[in-house]
């Protein structure tokens, strides 16, 4: 339990340092209604609340038999997830949000036991829906990439 509390304290200190670094950030142009510092400060605030709970909770975290073991198959699945997220980061600008989300979402669904056709349909609808939500409803521009010919 002592190690868990030390971990929480160190991570809380790191959150505080990162919040101090993010607080004065101002972009020279505004591409979002709330500005670029709101997201990191919100995430750091939520993470800090969880770490404060971890620091002062009365019981240690105990692992149960219901949790999957950290065996070779699980580690391979985690490695594939990280690789897919790196591919998403690399293809986000050139392919655009919709195509890169589909390119990554369908293999991710298959990795976790989804079937091909329902996975492809749901991922496609979610990619288009999230693009419309962010770009049109919330005014957060996302790249269209190869699909930019569809816009106006």
Q: Are residues 89 and 146 in the same domain?
A: yes
- pTM for the full predicted model: 0.60
The reply to whether 88 and 143 lie within a common domain is yes
Residue 135 in any domain: the answer is: yes
Domain of residue 50, residue span: 2-56
d(CA 2, CA 35): 39
Mean pLDDT of the chain: 84
Sign for the CA dihedral angle at 67, 42, 53, 5 comes to positive
pLDDT digits (tens, 9 = 90+) for 72-120: 888 898 899 999 999 999 998 899 899 999 999 999 999 988 899 999 9
Question: Are 82 and 50 in the same domain?
Answer: no
């Amino acid at each position: 339990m002592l190690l868990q509390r030390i971990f929480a304290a160190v991570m809380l200190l790191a959150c505080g340092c990162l919040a101090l670094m993010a607080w004065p950030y101002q972009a020279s142009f505004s591409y979002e209604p709330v500005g670029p510092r709101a997201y990191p400060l919100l995430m750091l605030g939520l993470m800090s609340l969880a770490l404060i709970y971890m620091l002062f909770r009365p019981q240690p975290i105990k692992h149960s038999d219901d949790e999957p073991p950290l065996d070779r198959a699980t580690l391979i699945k985690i490695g594939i997830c990280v690789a897919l997220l790196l591919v998403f980061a690399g293809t986000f600008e050139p392919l655009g949000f919709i195509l890169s989300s589909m390119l990554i979402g369908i293999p991710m669904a298959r990795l976790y036991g989804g079937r091909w056709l329902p996975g492809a349909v749901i991922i496609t609808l979610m990619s288009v829906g999230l693009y419309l939500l962010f770009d049109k409803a919330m005014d957060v521009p996302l790249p269209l990439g190869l699909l930019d010919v569809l816009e106006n």
